[in-house]
Amino acid sequence: MRISTGKYPPELRLRAPASFQHVWKTGRRVSVPLMAIMSCKNDLGHPRLGISIPKKNIRLAVDRNRFKRLAREAFRLRQNKLAAQDFVVVTYKGAEALTPIEQYQRVNALWDLAEARLIIP
């Protein structure tokens, strides 16, 4: 199931805490300064995305939501190239100091790195 519309359907979301825990425990990680992606295989036939942004890393809700939109859009644009894996994007302390343009550039660099190193055929 590959959906490339402007929506972010429930089938492409990692929502259950157990799914996040599975990625945290068994996943591989790549990172750029202030953010990272963890990934592990799934048996669903399509990629899924989870986003973890602690309040202590990006305090204001408006800034957390902006970052989530950037991460989801980057995922949406690349989902047809991605293997059937679960991905979790995470931010680290200091990420709130980045401008939206810097966040967008780093998210794209992070996905480029993930495509090169984490994608399991």
On whether the CB atoms of residues 24 and 88 are closer than 8 A, the answer is yes
Give bridge partners of residue 52 from the DSSP assignment: 90
pLDDT confidence band for 3 (50 / 70 / 90) = very low
The CATH number fitting domain 10-117, selected from 3.30.530.20, 3.30.230.10, 3.40.640.10, 3.20.20.370: 3.30.230.10
Domain extents for the chain?
10-117
* HSE-up of residue 67 (Cα within 13 Å, Cβ side): 30
Closest CA to 35 of 68, 73, 61: 68
On whether the CB atoms of residues 32 and 74 are closer than 8 A, the answer is no
pLDDT digits (tens, 9 = 90+) for 94-106: 998 999 999 999 9
